Amino acid sequence: MATATAEATSAALNPTPSTGSAGKPTLHHLNNSQSQRILWLLEELGIEYNVVNHKRKRGRAPAELSKVHQLGKSPTLVTSTGRVVVESTAVASYLIETYDTTGKFATRDPLRDEELTSFAGSSLGNVTAIELLVDLLATVPPWPISWFLGTVRSQVQKTFTTAEFEKAMRFLESELGDQEWFNGENLGRSDIIISWPLDCIAGRKWVNFDKDYPKLAAWRKRVTERDAWKRGLEKGNGYDLSGVDQD
Ligand SMILES: N[C@@H](CCC(=O)N[C@@H](CS)C(=O)NCC(=O)O)C(=O)O
């Protein structure tokens, strides 16, 4: 599976999607991003693919990504026929429908899979984005401004995000129950998609999984112990969600 740096390949990128090596999809990946779950999925599927590793600049995606798709976000997948696909859930659905020939990701309950996937991407994703925003704002110097933004953060947490996180974690803990995966006995699309918000929440220590949500803690451990997860980390260019990307 080929890996390339954005610098090495940016010259080859243009508004017309590049398919990379013929017959293989190409993932435009960004460090410390939700694209990590797509690398995990690609490794679980065991297919040949290309990766272009882009690096954040001052926390944002570099300009090269906007040449692949106008949104300039990651993950962005260029299919083997040159179609450009954005949005993690769409990318995951496409990859599973196209490459899961053995039914590894098959689900017994497509509606539940859809519910959990949407919950992770939309409801939980929104609360996570709000918390991240106020968290980052509270670090803006100088002191009087960071103090003021810190009080805004406390208010947002008190009036909204803390209770929302609690409700969301209780929901996911009960949905997982005693199953190994959210999808049941086998991994599913919902497991892949849920990994990102839980990684964000754990990375910034907004929730104490070990103490308060032991089933989710055990699920996270199962994910990170998988060979495909470890290979995905090696294919990417860093996955540290504890800090703020400034370089
Ligand atoms: N809803 C999109 C969100 C994609 C997205 O916002 N990706 C972030 C990384 S976590 C990104 O590319 N950020 C860089 C930027 O916006 O400059 C998805 O599900 O894939």
Mean pLDDT, consecutive 10-residue segments, the chain of 247 residues?
Answer: 44 39 89 97 98 95 97 98 98 98 97 98 94 88 88 94 96 98 97 97 94 98 98 98 70
Q: What pLDDT sits at residue 108?
A: 96
Q: Closest Cα partner for 34 from 5, 76, 68, 95?
A: 76
Question: What is the rounded distance in angstroms from the CA atom of residue 103 to the CA atom of residue 239?
Answer: 29
Instruction: Give Cα separations from 134 to 140, 150, 152, 198, 217 (angstroms).
Output: 10, 8, 7, 18, 25
Q: Which residues contact 164 (CB under 8 A, 6 or more apart)?
A: 127
Q: Is the CB of 34 under 6 A from ligand 1?
A: yes
- In angstroms, what CA-CA distances link 165 with 21, 58, 206? 42, 28, 9
Interval between CA 18 and ligand 1 midpoint (Å):
20
To test the ligand 1 pocket, which listed residue (27, 35, 74) has its Cβ within 8 A of the most ligand atoms?
74
**Shortest-distance Cα residue to atom 5 of ligand 1:** 73
30 lines ligand 1 (CB under 6 A): yes
Instruction: Identify any residues that bridge with 4 across adjacent strands, giving them in sequence order.
Output: 52
Query: How far apart are alpha carbons 159 and 117 in whole angstroms?
Result: 26
Q: Is the CB of 221 under 6 A from ligand 1?
A: no
**pLDDT value at residue 5:** 47
Q: For 122, how many CA atoms within 13 A lie in the half-sphere containing its CB? A: 6
142, two tokens: 């100088």
Q: Is the CB of 74 under 6 A from ligand 1?
A: yes
Domains of the chain: 2-103+231-235 (3.40.30.10), 110-226 (1.20.1050.10)
Indicate whether residue 92 lines ligand 1 (CB < 6 A). no
Cβ(60) – ligand 1 distance below 6 Å: yes
Helix (H) or strand (E) holding 89: helix 88-99
Ligand 1 atom with the smallest distance to the CA of 71 is: 16
Say how many Å lie between the CA of residue 33 and the centre of ligand 1: 7
- Predicted local distance difference test score (pLDDT) of residue 138: 87
DSSP characters over 9-74: HGGG--SSPP--STTS-EEEEETTSTTHHHHHHHHHHT---EEEEE--BTTBPPTHHHHH-TT--S
Q: What is the pTM of this model?
A: 0.90
Give the list of residues 6+ apart from residue 56 with CB closer than 8 angstroms, or none.
Answer: 30, 31, 32, 33, 62, 245, 247
Residue 144: predicted pLDDT: 87
Q: What is the predicted pLDDT for the residue at 16?
A: 36
Output the pLDDT for position 139: 84
Q: What is the DSSP string of 198-246?
A: HHHHHHTTSS-HHHH-HHHHHHHHHHHHSHHHHHHHHHSS----SS---
- What is the position in ligand 1's atom list of the atom closest to the CA of 91? 20
